[in-house]
Amino acid sequence: MELYFSAMACSLASRIALYEAGGDARFIEVDPKTKRTLDGADYLKIYPLGLVPLLRLDDGSLLSENAAILQYIAARYPNAELAQYDDMQRAPAAMAVFHRHGIA
Amino acid sequence: MTCSARLQQWLCFIGTELHKGLFIPLFDQKAPEGTKPHTLVKSRSRLDFLNGHLTGREFLLDRFSVADAYLCTVLNWTKPTQVDLAPWPAIRDYQRRIAARPAVAKAISEEYALYEAELVRHRAA
């Protein structure tokens, strides 16, 4: 697994998730200005939008979008319980908060 | 509603309301004049809502989750964008608490060193 990241960008969340899970990945730094990896590759050829994070999975395919990558990491390391959910019985109370804020 | 909906809710909230809604316009050096004050005013309701949720809670969900990894990452950006969290003490306390977790502190300190190296690289270019 390879994680394309830029320093202190939103890809930091994936590094945090991996460290919390005790997981491992090869971290490949992308310069946000030049859009080149620090080992010299043209990142726009890897991912035309030039955005991080981007995860290269073990089968070679690419997964983009922070929320998707974070859930992938959580699912890959289930013992770390990084996607533990609220008790759904509390959902009505949560929805009341939403209504009070005029969000739903 | 499936169990993962609650996690999805927070990941979407952080991604759309905070990451793209609040911080990206503040980081955008080419944003038209007036964008930043407008963004800050518009984001107050989002920060009020988040502050209310975090009041009396340790994490977004029942325990540390990837949503906390994402939220503490975007809250790091309050410093460079000069967003003052003083009106939202539950968010400010949450940020300090999460940043103190060993895995989070390690990730932040490693990436901050890389960020400083990036600045040096750009100045030299």
The domain tally of chain A equals: 1
Both tokens of A52, joined, read: 């991080």
B111 with A13: Cβ contact below 8 A: no
CATH of the domain at A31: 3.40.30.10
The pLDDT of residue B54 is: 98
Q: How confident is the model at residue A96 (pLDDT cuts 50, 70, 90)?
A: low
Residues contacting B28, CB < 8 A, separation 6+? B35
**Helices H / strands E in chain B, number of each:** 6, 0
CB contact under 8 A, A13 and B108: no
Whole-structure pTM value:
0.90
Q: Do the interacting molecules here have an ipTM over 0.90?
A: yes
For an interface test with A, which of B53, B61, B65 has the most A Cβ atoms less than 10 Å from its Cβ?
Answer: B65
Q: pLDDT at residue A99 above 90?
A: no
Instruction: Spell out, as residue ranges, where chain B has pLDDT lower than 50.
Output: 1-2
Specify the DSSP element, H or E, that contains A63.
strand A62-64
User: Mean of the per-residue pLDDT values for chain A?
Assistant: 88
Closest partner CB to B63 (pick from A16, A81, A91)? A81
Choose among B116, B69, B32: nearest CA to A13.
B69
Q: Chain A residue closest to B1 (CA)?
A: A88
Q: Which chain A residue shows the shortest CA-CA distance from B15? A: A67
Asked, as a colleague might, if the bond just before A32 is cis with ω within 30 of 0, I would say no
Number of alpha helices (DSSP H) and beta strands (DSSP E) in chain A: 4, 4
Nearest to B69 among A13, A33, A91 (CB): A13
Question: pLDDT tens-digit profile of A30-63?
Answer: 999 999 999 999 999 999 999 999 999 999 999 9
Which domain, by its residues, includes A69?
2-100
